[in-house]
Amino acid sequence: MENLNNQIFKIMAVLMCSFSCLILAQSDTNTEKQVRLVFNQLVSVYGSAKPQPKLEFVKKEKLPIQPARYSPSPNPKIEIDVALYKICQTFDKDSLNALAVVLSHELTHYYNDHTFCSDYAFANFKSNAELQKKIGQASYNARIEKESEADIKGFFFSAAAGFQPHGLQGLLIEKIYSNYKLADIQKGYPSKQERIVIAKNAENTAAQLYEHFKNGLSALENKQYDVAIELFTKANSQVPFRENWNNIGVAYARKALALKVSSKAEIENPVRFLYPLEVENKSRLLNERTRSLDDTTEEMVKLLNESQSAFEKALQLDPSFYKSRINLACVYDLQGKHNSAIAEITEKLPEEARASKEARRLLAIACYNAYMEEKAEKIWMELKM
């Protein structure tokens, strides 16, 4: 009987151990899944032509000296210590926001080609005395500059991705230093207190830039195009952002559209000739001219050139930003480059984007203006316009 009990006890012990391991494995899997979701959401907002860096997870019994770091070579990657997620969870409802702050900071290092300054709260060469000696004070100042840039852009893109990073930078650094048992002062690297000051100053700057972005959107919606252009330009001063450039292009194009002389076909069927750039075109069609046609044309040309330049800059940052591609096609059509507009839609957009209502509506307008009325009519019929 005693042997039987011992056997049962051993079997139960094995099962409990297996069950515990399974729970731990599931926990790690869920953590990695959550981190990847936040990571991918941030990458989509950065909108860069650079390929997405690899995301790797570090799992060690002892805490590594770096909770998160960007490694530029041999292949660009961002390493995240699984234990960092637990630190972020201590922020409760702000856990994902805290995680986004760290990930976005590291993504800024990657997208801006930073090398020596590549970890969130600690120096990756802290123990290399020879390297410290070579780098010297100039590089120390450069590190502070890059940390500040990563904090500013990291905050901005976190907010742009829909997270709420406000007030988290300094608290995160405090918790990371505490949990990872990092010394407050390390040779060749800002002290903990300096790092917190850098982060808070950067957050104030980034918050103002993001405010410009949001206010620019409101101005654009309210047809205050000059105000919108000024605000988006201010936001772009430190964070060149594809959405900023796209919105600048939209503002210039809408200003140009207000000057456009409407054709008979547009007046008779305004819905068909509503450019994807426009909210509505009734005011444009009813607009009375108070200036000569020559003056209007000259100003419209200038505005469309500015608009084209802005959309091209958005596409330089992210060639797959199809919203700007369609908007650029609108500008080409307004400039009289109807075949170029058609080519942007039919040759440079992937099939899924070509099938969107915005792309097909613009294609119909460009075809009509390029004297392909039958093709335009077919598209409009398909769109039930």
The pLDDT confidence band at residue 147, using thresholds 50, 70 and 90, is confident
Check if the beta carbon of residue 281 is closer than 8 Å to that of residue 312. Answer: no
Of 189, 211, 233, which closes a domain?
A: 211
pLDDT in tens, 274-323: 999 876 555 555 554 444 445 578 999 999 999 999 999 999 999 999 99
- Is residue 223 assigned to a domain? no
205 and 334 in a single domain? The answer is no
Integer Cα distance of 369 and 262 in angstroms: 12
Q: 58 — phi, psi (to 5°)?
A: -100, 125
- Taking the model in full, what pTM does it have? 0.81
CATH number of the domain to which 284 belongs:
1.25.40
Structural domain count, the chain: 2
pLDDT in tens, 153-173: 999 999 999 999 999 988 999
Q: Over the range 196-217, which residues count as b (16 or more CB within 10 Å of their CB) and which as e?
A: bebbeebbebbbebbebbebbe
193 and 253 in a single domain? The answer is no
- Is residue 301 assigned to a domain? yes
Check if the beta carbon of residue 328 is closer than 8 Å to that of residue 315. Answer: yes
Place of tokens 């002389």: 261
37 and 177 in a single domain? The answer is yes
- Is residue 7 assigned to a domain? no
Q: Hey, how many other C-beta atoms are within 10 angstroms of the C-beta on 176?
A: 23
Of 194, 211, 228, which closes a domain?
A: 211
| Residue 351 vs residues 187, 316, 318, 322, 380: alpha-carbon distances, Å | 55, 21, 18, 11, 18
Of 211, 226, 259, which closes a domain?
A: 211
- Long-range contact list for 12-15, CB < 8 A, 24+ apart? none
Q: What is the DSSP letter of 92?
A: G
Q: Over the range 79-110, which residues count as b (16 or more CB within 10 Å of their CB) and which as e?
A: bbbbbbbebbeebeebbbbbbbbbbbbbbbbb
Residue (of 107, 230, 229) closest to 163 by Cα position: 107
Q: Is the peptide bond before 74 cis (omega within 30 degrees of 0)?
A: yes
200 and 259 in a single domain? The answer is no
Q: Among 94-98, 168-172, 363-367, where is mean pLDDT lowest?
A: 168-172
What would the DSSP string read from start to end of 221-241?
Answer: HTT-HHHHHHHHHHHHTTS--
62 and 188 in a single domain? The answer is yes
Range of 174's domain? 30-211
94 and 164 in a single domain? The answer is yes
Higher pLDDT, 67 or 312: 312
- Is residue 107 assigned to a domain? yes
80 and 188 in a single domain? The answer is yes
Integer Cα distance of 276 and 282 in angstroms: 14
Whether the per-residue pLDDT at 27 is higher than 60: the answer is: no
pLDDT in tens, 223-269: 999 999 999 999 999 899 999 999 999 999 999 999 988 889 998 99
254 and 342 in a single domain? The answer is yes
202 and 259 in a single domain? The answer is no
- Is residue 21 assigned to a domain? no
| E strand or H helix at 263 | none
- Is residue 10 assigned to a domain? no
Q: Hey, how many other C-beta atoms are within 10 angstroms of the C-beta on 331?
A: 29
134 and 247 in a single domain? The answer is no
- End-to-end CA distance of the chain: give it in Å, rounded: 86
- Is residue 297 assigned to a domain? yes
The mean pLDDT value of the chain amounts to 83
- Is residue 261 assigned to a domain? yes
Residue (of 345, 204, 218, 221) closest to 280 by Cα position: 221
Place of tokens 């997620």: 85
| Residue 78 vs residues 39, 40, 82, 150, 167: alpha-carbon distances, Å | 10, 12, 13, 14, 24
pLDDT in tens, 202-225: 999 999 999 999 999 999 999 999
Check if the beta carbon of residue 276 is closer than 8 Å to that of residue 326. Answer: yes
157 and 36 in a single domain? The answer is yes
34 and 86 in a single domain? The answer is yes
